[in-house]
Amino acid sequence: MGWNDSGGSNDLEDRRGVGAGFSGLAIGGTYIGIGGLVLLLVLSFVSKRNVTTIVTDTGSPVALLRPVHDTREDREVRFISFVLDDTQRTWEQLLARQGVQYRPANLVLFRDATQSGCGFAQSATGPFYCPEDQKVYIDVNFFDELNRRLGAPGEFAQAYVLAHEIGHHVQNILGIERKVRGALRADPGQASPMSVRLELQADCFAGVWAHSTQQRNLLDQGDVESGLRAAAAVGDDRLQKTSISRVRSHWFQLGLKSGKIEACNTFAP
């Protein structure tokens, strides 16, 4: 995929290694923030023993979460910054045509674990969008997993993942996410099918952005196939268990071919 290295995005919140300190503790799978850590240090001073060496129920020592800045990730982070800015500029233009003002989302890059407006986030969670704080959360290690375990290598596969999550932000701006939550309160039994429709629409919105890159000759040969592999491979367990990976690819291609928001009505009968 062709892209311009313009440095870091203003909407990128890099939590991989801010400063030289640490962000908290992980004890037995439970995260303790900096406030809890301070409390443990005070207890250590009062009791004259190192309370931070408490072991987990498996006998393993406490794991300090020490995000480390890895220069080998610099190019990847710059690419992610480009995709983030390009995706949001595209949606700003598309929504302006409909008289809707686009509000930029922040992308939080983290390693291993972090806090979000929707609760505790960790590697196993996978990429997600939190409507409460309007931020996208991606563990930087996920892109290695995308390549090695999920069989979707290449920069455009990474771009698809981010564009999909920004698609959820667009749903939030358009009020779609709010309407779905209201419908679920009225009929909780529709949780699974409605969630699937939300995901499929985000796939289609990712395709709408891909259409704009195609129009600007930014796509290289094989990029679309890379995006389709990512669309088929990536998603929550619900989507994979219902075996609709080909349906996801269909909606991504529909957005790619049309470049139109109205083509992405996955809620139509």
For residues 67 and 257, the model is more confident at 257
What are the tens digits of pLDDT across the range 151-202? 555 688 889 999 999 999 999 999 999 999 888 888 888 778 888 899 999 9
Q: What is the pLDDT of residue 5?
A: 76
Residues 238/192, Cβ–Cβ less than 8 Å: yes
Q: What token pair was written down for 245?
A: 């990976």
CA atoms within 13 A on the CB side of 90: 25
* CA separation for the pair 124, 114 (Å, rounded): 12
User: What would the DSSP string read from start to end of 115-153?
Assistant: EETTEEEEGGG-SEEETTTTEEEEETTHHHHHHHTSS--
* CA separation for the pair 166, 146 (Å, rounded): 18
* CA separation for the pair 114, 118 (Å, rounded): 11
Q: How far is CA 181 from the centre of its chain?
A: 20
For residues 96 and 43, the model is more confident at 96
Q: What is the pLDDT of residue 16?
A: 84
Whether the predicted model's global pTM rises above the 0.85 cut: no
End-to-end alpha-carbon separation of the chain, Å? 36
Q: Where are the domains of the chain?
A: 24-65, 71-264
